[in-house]
Amino acid sequence: MIDLIKEQKERAIVVGVVTRNIHKQQAEEYLDELTLLADTAGATVIHRIMQDRNKVDPAFYIGKGKVEEIAKLVEDDDIASVIFDDDLSPAQVRNLETTINRKILDRSGLILDIFASRAKTNEAKTQVELAQLQYLLPRLTRAWTHLSKQFGGIGTKGPGETQIETDRRMIRQRISHLEEKLAKIGQQRQTRRSGRKDFVNVSLVGYTNAGKSTLLNALTDSKVFVENRLFATLDTTTRTAALSPSTNILLSDTVGFIRKLPHHLVASFKGTLEEVVEADILLHVIDVCHPKFDEQIRVVISTLEELGVAGKPTLYVFNKIDALQDREHLPELQQQFTPSVFISAERGINLLGLKDMILKMIHHSRIELTFSIGHTEHKLLSTLHDLAEIEERTYEDGNIIVKAKVSSRNIHHVREVLKQAHATIISFQAPHEPREPARSNDKPL
């Protein structure tokens, strides 16, 4: 393979299709996002091409005439890549490459390329390589010739460059090895997480570029990398945040979600996203200035459902309020999304109100429990220490009377443990209704 030096910005064309299931405006928005993804990957979009069809063409995705039109454009305008907004089949890629004679990428391949360039830690690199191999495996019949051409730049990072002669069997062996490696990393993460049981765990989730990392920095006085681009954050970052003089939480930032996020990418990053699964509370950060933030909310909720965490206590955090020109619809949003708060992470607007809302939710999620167990049940107590906050232990008539606080996510597990140990529950008290959150001295929202 001939290695070429990558230009600062390679020239690209993005292509989308309007079908009976996708309106033109929606397809244009998808193409806008694909253009941002291309920019993040290091390409400059020279042309945007949209075609109206009843359905995608099984051979070329778009019509043969439009393919020939693109083939002329790439020659005339020195285009290096043609990027399609949906996943392409191996046959479609082969046919498009034969006709256009340029690097062909689909949306999943482009996202994987961005992840490959952004991965910094050993875990992130392992996750990205696993996702790349799972993406390449069904495309193996054409992938090696595709990657062995004299193309450089976006879409060619990762395992393909160094494994051109690898066959399916070796790819599957590598996938198995990476899965085992991630399982070990997950066990190490679980061990680290067990040392945090005394803290409430709060995770930031949201669409990519909604401002999650900026909010983490604002609440924890950290300096996590922030960039106004898609997928600036891949690795989970956890920091301590002080909500009040007596209450600290663990706040975790995770990879952002996006439309049409490749399924195998979600699967590969489930280890990283365990912070979301294990969280007591989710902060769903939303860019309130984005014209389609409502659709972005649906994408995030759908991804959370895929992770199996739908229904977890969630606070909707509408961010970038300082850049919003029209605020007339805010009361309606506050009624539609409950509980919710409006902030600017970058300017620090209403962060006190946000902290107070989190305190309110913590109060709601803690259940006070008193139970009695036999004095020899030390193993049971050890198990409960991992599931609850033990506040007090007293000895009475050969039994141990335990007072504990349990998060809502652990209460079912605690009850099962106590039931198996034939413990006696003396009292079970849901939290009292907390006071309304105090507002900061910032402008009223």
Domain that holds residue 320: 196-349
| Residues 271-323: tens digit of each pLDDT | 667 778 788 899 999 999 998 899 999 999 988 888 778 778 899 999 999 99
Phi, psi of 391 (to 5 degrees): -95, -35
Q: Give the whole-angstrom CA distance, residue 382 versus residue 365.
A: 22
* Spacing of C-alpha 23 from chain mean position: 26
Are 284 and 206 a contacting pair, CB within 8 Å? yes
Instruction: Please determine, for residue 435, whether its predicted confidence score (pLDDT) is greater than 50.
Output: no
Q: How many domains does the chain have?
A: 3
377 in the same domain as 339: no
Q: Which amino acid is at 93?
A: V
| Residue 139 forms part of a structural domain | yes
State mean pLDDT over 11-22: 90
Instruction: Please determine, for residue 350, whether its predicted confidence score (pLDDT) is greater than 80.
Output: yes
| Residue 379 forms part of a structural domain | yes
Do strands 81-84 and 103-106 pair parallel, antiparallel, or not at all (unpaired)? Answer: parallel
402 in the same domain as 318: no
CATH of the domain at 33: 3.40.50.11060
Counting Cβ atoms within 10 Å, is residue 174 exposed (0-12), middle (13-18) or buried (19+)?
middle
> How many helices (H) and strands (E) are present in the chain, helices listed first?
15, 14
Radius of gyration over every alpha carbon of the chain, rounded to an integer in angstroms: 26
Q: Give the whole-angstrom CA distance, residue 408 versus residue 362.
A: 10
| Residues 219-238: tens digit of each pLDDT | 998 776 556 556 656 667 88
235 in the same domain as 107: no
| Residues 43-61: tens digit of each pLDDT | 999 999 999 998 899 999 9
Per-residue pLDDT, 404: 83
Q: What angle do CA 437, 212, 363 make, to 5 degrees?
A: 30
Instruction: Please determine, for residue 6, whether its predicted confidence score (pLDDT) is greater than 60.
Output: no
Per-residue pLDDT, 8: 62
404 in the same domain as 340: no
Alpha-carbon separation of residue 330 from 162, 301, 335 (angstroms): 52, 20, 9
Q: What is the DSSP track for 310-375?
A: TTS-EEEEEE-GGG-S--TTHHHHHHHSSSEEE-BTTTTBTHHHHHHHHHHHHHHHEEEEEEEEET
Q: Which amino acid is at 371?
A: F
Q: What angle do CA 215, 279, 222 make, to 5 degrees?
A: 30
Identify the three-state secondary structure at position 134: helix
Per-residue pLDDT, 140: 63
* Cβ neighbours of residue 279 closer than 8 Å, sequence gap 6 or more: 201, 202, 203, 252, 309, 312
Position of tokens 């507002």? 439
376 in the same domain as 340: no
156 in the same domain as 30: yes
Q: Which residue has the higher pLDDT, 79 or 143?
A: 79
| Residue 125 forms part of a structural domain | yes
| Total-model pTM | 0.73
Question: What is the percent of the chain where pLDDT is above 70?
Answer: 81
Per-residue pLDDT, 313: 87
Counting Cβ atoms within 10 Å, is residue 34 exposed (0-12), middle (13-18) or buried (19+)?
buried
Q: How many CA atoms lie within 13 A of 312 on its CB side?
A: 25
